[in-house]
């Protein structure tokens, strides 16, 4: 379900969605107060449509934590992963200083690098959404491209 802020941001699109379902402003107002479960179902359906459209456009994801970094590239029928783990507890890869240290010490014994590729037969958007639920963020892929060039 989209958040309240996201619904506010997509206000015009939601109005179009309601009108395409033949729901007027007055009917929507009445629906929210008299049948909140039905209103909730319409909001969920709209959220699903929005998420589906967003997920179809995702090309890169990043999940960065204190000492690890999972960088994903979404291909047509697979997901590529570049994983980096830092065995230095003084660093935090979520900040520029940690990324800078990683770039300068990539070949250090404190850095583990691994790659993987997983084929996706079906439910590609669901797999992407699952990665987002696990903490990944949609990105332009700058870090993936940077590390891909270094390790290929």
Is 62:55 a contact under the CB 8 Å cutoff?
no
At residue 134, the pLDDT reads 95
DSSP-assigned letters across all residues of 121-145: -S-HHHHHHHHHHTT-EEE--HHHH
Per-residue pLDDT in tens (0 to 9) along the chain, 152 residues: 899 899 999 999 999 999 999 999 999 999 999 999 999 999 999 999 999 999 999 999 999 999 999 999 999 999 999 999 999 888 899 999 998 999 899 989 999 999 999 999 888 999 999 999 999 999 999 999 999 998 87
């Amino acid at each position: 379900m989209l958040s309240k802020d996201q619904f506010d941001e997509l206000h015009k699109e939601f109005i179009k969605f309601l009108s395409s379902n033949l729901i007027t402003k007055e009917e929507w107002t009445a629906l929210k107060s008299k049948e909140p479960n039905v209103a909730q179902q319409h909001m969920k359906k709209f959220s699903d449509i929005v998420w589906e459209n967003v997920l179809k456009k995702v090309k890169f994801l990043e999940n960065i934590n204190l000492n690890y970094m999972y960088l994903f590239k979404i291909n047509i029928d697979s997901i590529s992963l570049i994983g980096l783990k830092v065995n230095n507890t003084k660093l935090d890869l979520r900040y520029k200083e940690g990324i800078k240290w990683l770039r300068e010490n990539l070949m250090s014994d404190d850095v583990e690098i691994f790659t993987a590729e997983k084929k996706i037969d079906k439910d590609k958007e669901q797999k992407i959404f699952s990665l987002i639920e696990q903490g990944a963020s949609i990105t332009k892929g700058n870090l993936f491209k940077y590390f891909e060039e270094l390790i290929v």
